[in-house]
Amino acid sequence: MYDTLLLPTDGSDATRSAIRHANELATTYDATVHILSVVDTRNRFESPSGGLAPDAWAERERERAKEAIDEAAAALSGAIAVERAIQEGTPTEGILGYIDDAGIDMVVVATHGRTGLDRYLIGSVTEEVVRKSPVPVLTASVED
């Protein structure tokens, strides 16, 4: 039923819950888990770069993406097939594009639980992925 799962990660603590769910689903369905991290390439005035030079920001984001993928892969069962990918762009568009490109059957993504002003200012990648995804999306909250 689910041969290819997508596990987007930004390396945050919230991702741990999504990793547990992806691990269980992949084990149950003998699925491959595609671990994706998106390097946010918006210019430094549109992203939370803290005023870093654009090249320094992008390089740091690539390092963060690789570390996030490595941590997620290490947390999965050794019997699970894993594909690793780094996309560049905005997180939502990177995730949605990867779903189509890789033939993903289901997305397992964490929610950060932001509310109020934080959610308004930062937005919700997970919410947008849920609304626009052509495949089922399992959302895992920090408490899961």
Tell me the domains of the chain and their CATH numbers.
Answer: 4-140 (3.40.50.620)
Task: Assess contact for 16 and 111: CB atoms under 8 A.
Answer: no
Position 134 confidence tier, pLDDT thresholds 50, 70, 90: very high
Q: In whole angstroms, what is the distance from residue 100 CA to residue 8 CA?
A: 14
pLDDT tens string 76-90: 999 999 999 999 998
Give CA angle at 54 (50, 57), nearest 5°: 55
Task: Assess contact for 77 and 23: CB atoms under 8 A.
Answer: yes
Sign of the Cα pseudo-torsion (42, 12, 57, 37, in order): negative
- Phi, psi angles (nearest 5°) of residue 19: -60, -45
| pLDDT top residue among 27 and 53 | 27
Span 1-22, average pLDDT = 93
* % of the chain beyond a pLDDT of 70: 81
Q: In whole angstroms, what is the distance from residue 23 CA to residue 115 CA?
A: 28
* % of the chain beyond a pLDDT of 90: 62
